[in-house]
Amino acid sequence: MIAPPDRTPLPRTFFDRPVLEVAPDLLGRILVRQTPDGPIEVRLTEVEAYDGPNDPGSHAYRGRTARNDVMFGPPGHVYVYFTYGMWHCMNLVCGPDGRASAVLLRAGEIVEGADLARKRRLSARNDKELAKGPARLATALGVDRTLDGTDACAPGETPLRMLTGAPVPSDQVRNGPRTGVAGDGGVHPWRYWVANDPTVSLYRAHTPRRRSS
SS3 50: strand
Q: Is residue 162 part of a domain?
A: yes
Residue 84 lies in a domain: yes
Measured CA to CA, the distance from residue 160 to residue 149 in angstroms comes to 11
- What is the rounded distance in angstroms from the CA atom of residue 114 to the CA atom of residue 41? 8
Please tell me the predicted confidence (pLDDT) of residue 92: 98
pLDDT number for residue 213: 42
212 lies in some domain: no
In a domain, 201, yes or no: no
**What pLDDT is attached to residue 61?**
87
Over its length of 213 residues, how does the chain's per-residue pLDDT go in tens digits?
466 789 999 999 999 999 999 999 999 999 999 999 999 999 999 999 999 888 988 998 888 998 899 999 899 999 999 987 889 999 999 999 888 999 999 999 999 999 999 999 999 999 999 999 999 999 999 999 999 999 999 998 899 999 999 999 999 999 999 988 877 777 899 999 999 999 999 887 766 655 544
What's the confidence (pLDDT) of residue 134? Answer: 97
Question: In 144-158, which positions are buried (b, 16+ CB within 10 angstroms) versus exposed (e)?
Answer: eeebbebbbbeeeeb
How many domains, in total, are found in the chain?
A: 1
Task: For residue 114, give the CATH number of its domain.
Answer: 3.10.300.10
- Is 206 part of any domain? no
63 in any annotated domain: yes
Q: How far, in Å, are 19, 114, 129 from residue 197 at the CA level?
A: 23, 18, 12
Alpha carbons 78 and 98: distance in angstroms, whole number: 15
Q: Report the half-sphere exposure of 133 (CA within 13 A, side-chain side).
A: 14
pLDDT at residue number 182: 76
Domain interval for residue 15: 6-194
> Position 78: which residue type?
V
Residue 200 lies in a domain: no
pLDDT of residue 184: 74
Q: Is residue 178, in this structure, part of any structural domain at all?
A: yes
Name 78's Cβ contacts closer than 8 Å, sequence gap at least 6: 70, 90, 91, 92, 93, 143, 147, 148, 149, 150, 151, 152, 160
User: Which residues have C-beta within 8 Å of that of residue 74, sequence separation ≥ 6?
Assistant: 12, 93, 97
